């Protein structure tokens, strides 16, 4: 009897240790990702420093001068434009699902929007390259150019030959990819608004839109903010869809119709072709910068979304 209890106690401890090490592995992995990326990028850090690397627009593999400014610019611009396009649509979708959609359609429509997030990014890339970019280059962009190019300052954004492989197309595709992330989190926070609050507003004669605008949205602003930041994290790290339609050109572009490069695309296209140690190390440096940005952005989103005691993501 004592033997059995002893054995069970040992097994109990063993199982505890087993599960603990599996859980601890997550910390170990994220830690070693940071450490090993830092170690691999040391030569580039020593050669270029931080400020000089981030601010330099050079990307010259032949002369071995590398800077992150062009790719950082591409990453930030496409992410920013994608967010601007995605936020209103995603909010509209969330309003539609919580306030307007007939009850029996709610789960169907919600799942349909979430399927947009399940489509792998390489499919977005295929569709973008073969179907969407030609449409943009042939019809949409010349049309936009016609309208906007006579206007003095804005016209500059629409200059150049519209080919469809450019910042605008990429941002639109990115915006489609992040809509479901914002929409589904915002929908959940909308649904948490206390019914009493809404009913009091209706009681004093507010219209549906006024209830949404003045009660539901203010009540869920942390959720909205958090969801936008999560979507931003996604857009920053998106690789394959962008690799197909952005054109991988290292330059600071001022037109929406010019090709550009992001950190992710540069990694995808040049990593296996980097022929010198400094080149490879600079690519690792880019990866480290991307990881750090992404990690910070998501940590901010987490603190926003968990502050109210519920975790959505």
Using an 8 Å Cβ cutoff, are 97 and 261 in contact?
no
- Interface with another protein, residue 113, by CB under 8 A: yes
For residue 49, give the 3-state DSSP assignment: coil
- Interface with another protein, residue 2, by CB under 8 A: no
The footprint of another protein on residues 17-36 (CB under 8 A) is 18-20, 22-27, 29-30, 32-33, 36
- Interface with another protein, residue 15, by CB under 8 A: yes
- Which of 45, 69, 116, 251 forms a contact with another protein (CB under 8 A)? 116
- Interface with another protein, residue 287, by CB under 8 A: yes
Residue indicated by tokens 């280059």: 137
Q: In the complex, what is the shortest distance from the CB of residue 18 to another protein, in angstroms, rounded to a whole number?
A: 6
- Interface with another protein, residue 45, by CB under 8 A: no
- Which of 37, 81, 201, 261 forms a contact with another protein (CB under 8 A)? 37
Residue indicated by tokens 């004093």: 204
- List phi, psi (to 5°) of 67: -145, 155
Q: Map residues 54-73 to x or -, x wherever contact with another protein holds by CB under 8 A.
A: --------------------
CB-CB neighbours of 151 under 10 Å: 11
- List phi, psi (to 5°) of 206: -70, 150
Distance in angstroms (rounded) separating the CA atoms of residues 94 and 90 = 6
Q: In the complex, what is the shortest distance from the CB of residue 311 to another protein, in angstroms, rounded to a whole number?
A: 7
- Interface with another protein, residue 186, by CB under 8 A: no
- Interface with another protein, residue 213, by CB under 8 A: yes
Span of 52-60, 112-120, 160-168, 195-203 interacting with another protein by CB under 8 A: 112-120
Nearest to 44 by CA among 33, 32, 59: 59
Strand partners, 260: 247
Q: In the complex, what is the shortest distance from the CB of residue 76 to another protein, in angstroms, rounded to a whole number?
A: 14
Distance in angstroms (rounded) separating the CA atoms of residues 313 and 305 = 8
Nearest to 245 by CA among 79, 124, 84: 124
Q: In the complex, what is the shortest distance from the CB of residue 149 to another protein, in angstroms, rounded to a whole number?
A: 26
- Interface with another protein, residue 298, by CB under 8 A: yes
């Amino acid at each position: 009897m004592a033997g059995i209890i002893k054995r069970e106690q040992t097994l109990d401890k063993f199982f505890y240790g087993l599960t603990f090490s599996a859980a601890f592995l997550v910390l170990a992995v994220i830690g070693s990702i940071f450490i090993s990326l830092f170690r691999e990028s040391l030569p580039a850090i020593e050669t270029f420093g931080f400020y000089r690397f981030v601010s330099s627009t050079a990307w010259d593999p032949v002369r071995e001068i590398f800077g992150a400014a062009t790719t950082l610019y591409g990453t930030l611009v496409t992410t920013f434009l994608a967010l601007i396009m995605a936020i209103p649509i995603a909010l509209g979708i969330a309003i539609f699902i919580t306030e307007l959609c007939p009850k029996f359609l709610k789960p169907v429509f919600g799942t349909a929007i979430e399927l947009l997030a399940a489509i792998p990014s390489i499919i977005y890339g295929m569709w973008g390259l073969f179907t969407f970019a030609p449409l943009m280059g042939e019809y949409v962009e010349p049309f936009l150019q016609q309208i906007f190019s006579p206007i003095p300052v804005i016209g500059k954004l629409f200059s150049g030959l519209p080919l469809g492989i450019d910042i605008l197309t990429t941002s639109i595709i990115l915006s489609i990819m992040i809509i479901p992330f914002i929409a589904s989190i915002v929908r959940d926070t909308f649904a948490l608004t206390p019914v009493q609050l809404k009913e009091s507003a209706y009681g004093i004669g507010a219209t549906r839109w006024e209830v949404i605008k003045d009660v539901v949205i203010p009540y869920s602003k942390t959720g909205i903010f958090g969801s936008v930041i999560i979507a931003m994290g996604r857009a920053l790290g998106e690789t394959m869809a962008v690799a197909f339609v952005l054109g991988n050109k290292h330059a600071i572009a001022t037109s929406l119709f010019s090709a550009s490069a992001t950190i992710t695309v540069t990694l995808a296209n040049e990593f296996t072709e980097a022929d010198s140690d400094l080149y490879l190390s600079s690519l690792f440096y880019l990866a480290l910068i991307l990881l750090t940005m992404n990690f910070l952005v998501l940590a901010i989103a987490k603190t926003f979304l968990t502050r109210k005691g519920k975790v959505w993501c």
